[in-house]
Structure 1
């Protein structure tokens, strides 16, 4: 990939997009394009069309999405399905019509069926029903994957989809109303530590198993996909290792130094019992994660401490 190619990173201010921007900059890419959601509403087809006509990107990386945890997905199902479809449809269709040579679409492991065999293989897509608590987001992302696949099939374009496992890291969202489990735990344990090590209440039983990938490793996977023509349309991105939510909580509690009690509220939903990714396809091609969970959590907590009170509260 020519380092001077125009690369548009949609969602470049978010956790994933900013990590991709940093990774590409470190690799020597000099023509990165990013615009804030205040200046470009990706839900508006005409705005997206005008943007592409003006900037003429050679490559598009779609890291833009409306995201959130179980609570946000459950409370705002319409926004999660409609806005995500609007964003990705406008980007993919305009990229195709603008003859963009490469498109990298980012999704989530939640596209796979709730009770699919573990670990999750790419071919399990659309083989059974989804987890009800996040099916709105999942359905939107599935349409993006299939749209990129259709473009590969019909137009022979290098459009590829990368499905990461649960991501976390610097620039994460720590708003307790809309954040994912790991950053929410960091905030809860930190605030409880400051509050005389008061008890921390966490959702569910703690028994579900989850896999977590540091966002900088995800960014490296995107760079890998950018610099190589991947032979298939869909790839899982993860560590291939998981742990229980209870083990995650204990790890975060230890790193933060919280000495209080953990209370598990089993009246709240657990979500999918297990979501472990089979990442053998990417491993065979040459990509593998590098940051272990403890190191990643420490880096994330350090960033949280430096930016406490400054991170974005997400309004839904």
Structure 2
């Protein structure tokens, strides 16, 4: 794992990564940002909200941004192993196929089977293990199979790639009052927050949103160091067993607060968004759930950007959500 500090993340470094992402052969797109008021969603309470639709990104989530920068900085045809509950694994597999790399995804047994099948369709091996055994499996691949570990959230190049989302949203909302971003291991939140703050938006308040049952960054903020926990949440993409070290440092520096939402609140958010024609997975809907249930303070009259981070949800999963 990289031991670089948060000081390595400069605006010039992030702008360079943004150009790498923008020109990547993986086809990363500039995702649309639409006003909440122009959807059929219930009116937002007293503030102007823009929805950044990363659920429409190539491979269905923001993860392709970080992966594009990671793979651009690694040798072609390498042998890589990673850990993912789905979205990072999908982007990792997509990139592995494009670059001719040998890849393996170690996946928690709790992740939906459909996501494992999808990753395997790109020619990448999947090994499903108990959450407590994820890193044991990775270390075996590194030692026995001579594979290089690519971290799915605690990696400088990955975070810089994710920061392209922050720089992109500032082009449409140059000085937002509030930006709301989901948080699992913290790679996306760290990248977006650093991009916004280093761009000079000193007054912008940035909030991370985690599930109540997988609140590693929330607990890390309290304990002032990265911590782990036994995680359990419907939002598998937001439920790594620990917060990343570099993401924690960046979030502590640039993020206002971490707020929590329940599984039921995310289910309701998925259903509300689906009713408005937006297919968003539980992990991607956490930010919307936080707004819908009043978790973000002092929004009256504010300009808000809400990142919907992913839309990889199968018909079998949607069937379990309320109408």
- Fold shared, TM-score > 0.5 on shorter chain: no
Larger Rg: 1
TM-score, normalising length: structure 1: 0.29
TM-score, normalising length: structure 2: 0.29
